[in-house]
Amino acid sequence: MRTSSVVAPDGVRLAVYEGGSPAGPEILFAHGAGQSAMAWRAQLESPALAACRLVAWDLRGHGASAKPLERAYYAEGARWADEVAAVIEGAGLRRPTVVAWSYAGTIVGEYLVRHGAGRLAALNFVAAATLPGIDLFGPGLLGNAKGMMDEDAAVRGAATRAFVESCFATPQPAATIETILAYNLAVPREVRAGMAGRQFDFDAAFAALAIPVLVTHGAADRVVLPHMGRSTAARIPGARLSLYDGAGHCPFVEAQGRFDVEVVALARQAVAR
């Protein structure tokens, strides 16, 4: 895996990771809140995706990226939009297929509102949040969000563990859970608080999309409820909804074989257009 960094327009340094073939169709992976680019490690090393150029990055406040604590760095949609643009430009991506998981649905939405889809080949929303409010979120998030921002480290740890475990519909190996827990706990509580409660409206940007769009969602997701995925697909012309029976919030883990095949097919479809 190759590593580098780019700097967002507001000065935040972002850690970037790359795998696969430099000459292949481009796929850019964006992770969710509290996670890191390590969430995509299986994809960056996947034989099914090896012919593609695979890029992921740690969102601001996450992983090895810089972690300013001021709320403005996370609450303002323009900063997220410009972060995505900076990664595309800094990594030298021409027209990537963007895979946006969970909270990254809001980040890519902000990019579309401010920059449009002209630099994108296709989109894959994965268990992605694309509407504000709490009605389309499940107990895995709503039952643990407050605890994950608590001042008491023990409370944060317990809530974060419960959240991580709720991301899966099937039990995962202890080593997998501990690794995910570790990079979740590395995200400062101030960062989580800054990301919470943002308001946005992507309907006009979604309605204007004229590129291939795949909406992937686990049918057993307890973090972002499946109806969110159905709503996302309904608001985007020509979008295809792919529901994963028996999978939770991480279909790229619980059904990696199917997920990787669908992503590479989307990227190749986009290149062939």
Tell me how far apart the alpha carbons of residues 98 and 107 are, in angstroms, rounded to a whole number. Answer: 11
5 CB burial (10 A radius; 0-12, 13-18, 19+): middle
Domain range enclosing 80: 2-272
DSSP tag of 134: S
Whole-number pLDDT of residue 272: 74
The DSSP H or E segment spanning 26 is strand 26-30
Instruction: Tell me how far apart the terminal alpha carbons of the chain are, to the nearest angstrom.
Output: 29
What are the tokens at 31? Answer: 């992770």
122 by DSSP, 3-state: which?
A: strand
Whole-number pLDDT of residue 273: 72
- Whichever domain contains 190, its CATH number is 3.40.50.1820
Whole-number pLDDT of residue 64: 98
Tell me how far apart the alpha carbons of residues 225 and 235 are, in angstroms, rounded to a whole number. Answer: 16
Tell me how far apart the alpha carbons of residues 68 and 49 are, in angstroms, rounded to a whole number. Answer: 34
Whole-number pLDDT of residue 43: 98
How many independent structural domains does the chain possess? 1
Whole-number pLDDT of residue 133: 87
273 CB burial (10 A radius; 0-12, 13-18, 19+): exposed
Residue 11, amino acid: G
Rounded to 5°, the CA angle 273-106-36 comes to 95
Whole-number pLDDT of residue 217: 98
Whole-number pLDDT of residue 1: 81
DSSP tag of 47: G
Candidates 78, 68, 58; CA nearest to 191 is 68
Q: Which distant-in-sequence residues (6+ apart) come within 8 Å of 131 by Cβ?
A: 228, 231
Count other C-beta atoms under 10 Å from residue 63's C-beta: 22
List per-residue pLDDT tens for the chain, 273 residues long: 899 999 999 999 999 999 999 999 999 999 999 999 999 999 999 999 999 999 999 999 999 999 999 999 999 999 999 999 999 999 999 999 999 999 999 999 999 999 999 999 999 999 999 999 889 999 999 999 999 999 999 999 999 999 999 999 999 999 999 999 999 999 999 999 999 999 999 999 999 999 999 999 999 999 999 999 999 999 999 999 999 999 999 999 999 999 999 999 999 998 877
Rounded to 5°, the CA angle 93-98-104 comes to 120
